[in-house]
Amino acid sequence: MEDMLFYDRLQFAFTITFHYIFPQLTMGLSLLVVYYKWRYLRSNVEKYNNAAKFLMKIFAINFTMGVVTGIPMEFQFGTNWAKFSELTGGIIGQTLAMEGMFSFFLESSFLALFIFGEKLMGQKLHFLTGFLVFLGSWASGWFILATNAWMQHPVGHEILENGTFVLANFSELFTNPWLIPAFLHNQMASVVTSSFVVASIGAFYVLRNKQIEYGHLFLKTGVIFGLISSLLVAFPTGDWNAKNVAKYQPAAFAAMEGIFETEEAGAEIVLIGQPNMVDKKLDNKIAVPNILSFLTYQEWDKQVPGMDQFKEEELPDNIPALYYSYHIMVGLGTVFIGVMALAVFFLWRKNLHKMKPLLWFIMFLVPFPYIANLTGWYTAELGRQPYLVYGLLKTSEGVSPTVSSGNTLFTLLGFVALYMLLGLLFLVLVGKTIHQGPTPQKH
Amino acid sequence: MELVWYIIIGIVLAMFFVLDGYDFGAGIIHLFYAKKEKDKEVIAKSAGLFWDSNEVWLVAAGGMLFMAFPSFYASVFSGFYLPLIIVLWLIIFRAIGLEFRAQFNYQMWKDIWDKSFGVSSLLLALFFGIALGNIVRGVNLGIVDTGVSTQEAHYFFLPLWDSSFSPLSDHPGVIDWFTLIIGFIAVVTLAIHGANWVILKTNSSINKKLKGVIFKLNIALAALTVFSLIVWQLVNPNSLNNFIDKPYLMVFPIIYLTGLVGLFFIKKIKKDVHAFALSTMLILGGITSSLASMFPVILPSVNDTNPSLTIYNTAASEYGLSVAMNWGVVGIILVIIYMIVQKRLTTGKVDEMDYGH
């Protein structure tokens, strides 16, 4: 039974991690496509149109990967988490079905039209199809976040005697106080990823002295969007989420901040340190007193409950992983603001393209927004443990009763092998597209 | 309300098999009949342009099934664990074959992805047929062993096969001789459907020859259909009761028969779209007849201890189903609009379209 739970969790963690590499780029990228397409409509300068179409090509590769790795996500609710699906399908089935119906249909239909239909439709309609792709991909984020928000902070349901959750109030699923902060934070984080990718491509072109016109354009757009979104990810959206965790999941909050013991006169904020689960303390800690209390409650000496205030079974089951995920996310987010602020400063002084070391840095920074996005999700999901539906349904109660660990390990190994191949092909293809660049190809 | 959702999900699933069915079929045709590079290219393109918007129907069906019949979703997806995951892998292989073959201009590269597209299309068609076979045959719900359930009454688990390969065994596997026959029917049906699609949407040099292929495949299909009807009685003796009680349900088998008979005149049919309509009828008729024969059961139990799963004992709450109806209607209208827009912009043969590939 323990084995079963372990492999089911590992397979879901692996497949969702790999899947979320793709949508986090496409959601943000669609915004930039719409932006370029809008600039083109306003100015009629050809380079904006080429830039939009080039980014949509990268979007399309990522979208395909997102589709093929996304179908297994939907299926796995039933295959590996059957008991969870049976008990909560009446609720999260709503939001997941709406995702398929409203967003996925929209996105896939109009993506094809955007890519193939420019000549047929004319520029205004072409802009509109781009906008609908953007709408579809953000709506998709909205419904997935609504699903997750219900698991983090369940609302609008009743629990029957046999343990089944039934929907009692549909609209509460979308007015869930967890949803809006989480959605905005997630969308801003996806704009961070796409801005950094675009800035990185720009830096690559400038450093290589090829596609120089687009190099400058991508660099400019990338760092400006990058700075704005990096700031918005931290404040107000990140702050807002942290306050929600403190309010609704105080045990998770204590664990992610690394507070083992409650301090009477205000909690310190931990910058660095390694959780020592034997002695229940942080090793090699560097912390600033009272800041956490201020950030959370705007009061310097307000008490923040530490892990000592909670029963063992209410605490997340992997505290170090949760703590590291959260600190990596916050640490990277801080670095992003610094780098992008510097880049925007040089852009304003009109010599960003001459700052070779900074351009190299921006170019190689590209994996890190992905890591920050994923660790952000790990923070949310590890913090929710040991529950699937916070406070109501334990993760161990959600697994499929009849699927043995041997079968799950078999499929996990298969997914690992297949996704390695997929990842390799993806890199080759994106590399090729970037190498060719946005200049129209001659047939 | 259960009935309404059952019908909606049935329609969405049928849409999936009709739409993605033609690109599965195109893959089978590609594997066996496309020899020249030019033909391989246009056939792959005739599937490659549409597969992802077709697969949206699968995602929609999955989501709605989850929402409307959560116990059924949980039971079937965990019970058919291995075949379902294998289907996912095949879907991925097929998609990367289609998306990546045109990316590099090496013959070896194209050969690899052609095979990946063709073989996974063939296996997917086979697996979908086997899945239908399993649904009509039924499973050992509750994993009953000598009269005692070892699991909750609606859970089960099937290995890929059981050493007897017999649908009449107490513990049938996913693959037995009955489900294999249904699998072959699915392969032949989708091959016919795919051939019609290739003829309709491409100028490939094998279009003439494919009409002969369809004729031959149709003979095989007729033979398999008759044979399967006989063994169907053996596997599920009640399968005719619904048609006797409610004769109007006969409309579904008649749709299938019309398609089957019509396709024997493939060489005389002037408009390619009419032939495509006939193979569409095969798929629609086949699926709806199978479902109608079982109604309201959606997964029969092969033991006497636990009852079959029906749309009534697996449905979500009445409130949930009716609230979903509100957004469901809006969603369906939107989807129909998208489809019309998309179809209007992609009429004609794919090799004549300027898609900048």
What is the average pLDDT across A349-368?
Answer: 93
Q: Which chain B residues have a beta carbon less than 8 Å from that of A411?
A: 81-82, 85
B357 domain-assigned: no
B259 domain-assigned: yes
Residue A442 has pLDDT above 80, yes or no: no
Least confident segment among A14-18, A389-393, B45-49: B45-49
Residue A127 has pLDDT above 60, yes or no: yes
Residue A28 has pLDDT above 90, yes or no: yes
- Give the residues across from B299 on adjacent strands: B309
Is B157 part of the contact surface with chain A (CB cutoff 8 Å)? yes
Q: Give the pLDDT confidence score for residue A441 in this predicted structure.
A: 56
Is B150 part of the contact surface with chain A (CB cutoff 8 Å)? no
Per residue in A13-27, pLDDT (tens digit) is 999 999 999 999 999
Burial pattern B221-252, b for ≥16 Cβ within 10 A else e, equals: bbebbeebeeebeebbeebeebbeeeeebeeb
Residue A410 has pLDDT above 90, yes or no: yes
Q: Give the pLDDT confidence score for residue B280 in this predicted structure.
A: 94
B155 domain-assigned: yes
Pair B263, B214: CB distance under 8 Å: yes
Pair B220, B263: CB distance under 8 Å: no
Nearest CA in chain A to B350: A116
Burial pattern A72-106, b for ≥16 Cβ within 10 A else e, equals: bbbbbbbbbbbbbbbbbbbbbbbbbbbbbbbbbbb
B332 domain-assigned: yes
A402/B345 CB distance under 8 A = no
Residue B254 has pLDDT above 70, yes or no: yes
Q: Give the pLDDT confidence score for residue B48 in this predicted structure.
A: 83
How much is the mean pLDDT over chain A?
A: 92
Instruction: State the Cα–Cα distance between residues A373 and A47, nearest whole angstrom.
Output: 31
Distance from CA of B322 to the nearest CA of A (A): 11
Residue B347 has pLDDT above 80, yes or no: no
Residue B275 has pLDDT above 80, yes or no: yes
- CA dihedral of A359, A364, A366, A369, whole degrees rounded to 10: -100
Instruction: State the Cα–Cα distance between residues B55 and B35, nearest whole angstrom.
Output: 27
What is the average pLDDT across B273-285?
Answer: 93
Residue B355 has pLDDT above 60, yes or no: no
Residue B248 has pLDDT above 90, yes or no: yes
Pair A403, B83: CB distance under 8 Å: no
What the block records as the tokens of B279 is 């193979």
H helix count then E strand count, chain B: 12, 4
Rounded to an integer, what is the distance from CA A342 to the centroid of its chain?
25
Q: Which residues, in sequence order, are CB contacts of B83 under 8 Å at separation 6+?
A: B127, B130, B131, B158, B160, B174
Q: Which residues, in sequence order, are CB contacts of A333 under 8 Å at separation 6+?
A: A230, A233, A234, A238, A372
Distance from CA of A42 to the nearest CA of B (A): 25
Q: Which chain A residues have a beta carbon less than 8 Å from that of B339?
A: 109
B355 domain-assigned: no
Q: What ipTM describes this predicted complex?
A: 0.90
B136 domain-assigned: yes
Count of structural domains within chain B: 1
Share of chain A above pLDDT 70, in %: 99
B287 domain-assigned: yes
pLDDT grade for B331, boundaries at 50, 70 and 90:
confident
B29 domain-assigned: yes
What is the average pLDDT across A329-333?
Answer: 95
Pair A100, B12: CB distance under 8 Å: no
Q: Please report the DSSP string for B209-262 in residue order.
A: HHHHHHHHHHHHHHHHHHHHHHHHHHH-TTTTHHHHH-GGGGHHHHHHHHHHHH
The C-alpha R_g of chain A, in whole angstroms, comes to: 23
Least confident segment among A188-202, B67-81, B167-181, B308-322: B167-181
Between A184 and B35, where is the model more confident?
A184
Is B109 part of the contact surface with chain A (CB cutoff 8 Å)? no
Best of B55, B85, B103, B355 to substitute, by most chain A Cβ atoms within 10 angstroms, is B85
Instruction: State the Cα–Cα distance between residues A187 and A27, nearest whole angstrom.
Output: 7
Three-class SS of residue B129?
A: helix
Residue A81 has pLDDT above 60, yes or no: yes
Most confident of A61-65, A200-204, B31-35: A200-204
Pair B192, B222: CB distance under 8 Å: no
pLDDT grade for A443, boundaries at 50, 70 and 90:
very low
Per residue in B223-243, pLDDT (tens digit) is 999 999 999 888 888 888 899
Per residue in A285-327, pLDDT (tens digit) is 898 888 898 888 888 888 889 999 999 889 999 999 999 999 9
Angle of helix B318-345 versus helix B51-68 axis, rounded to 10: 170
Residue A223 has pLDDT above 90, yes or no: yes
Query: In the 8-state DSSP scheme, what is residue A271?
Result: E
User: Given A89, A105, A166, which is nearest B74 (Cβ)?
Assistant: A89
Within a 10 A sphere around the Cβ of B339, how many other Cβ atoms?
15
How much is the mean pLDDT over chain B?
A: 89
Instruction: State the Cα–Cα distance between residues A55 and A57, nearest whole angstrom.
Output: 5
- What's the domain range around B289? 2-350
Residue A348, burial from CB neighbour count under 10 angstroms (0-12, 13-18, 19+): exposed
Q: Please report the DSSP string for A213-259 in residue order.
A: HHHHHHHHHHHHHHHHHHHHIIIIIIHHHHHHHHHH-HHHHHHHHT-
Angle of helix A2-19 versus helix A46-80 axis, rounded to 10: 170
Residue B337, burial from CB neighbour count under 10 angstroms (0-12, 13-18, 19+): exposed
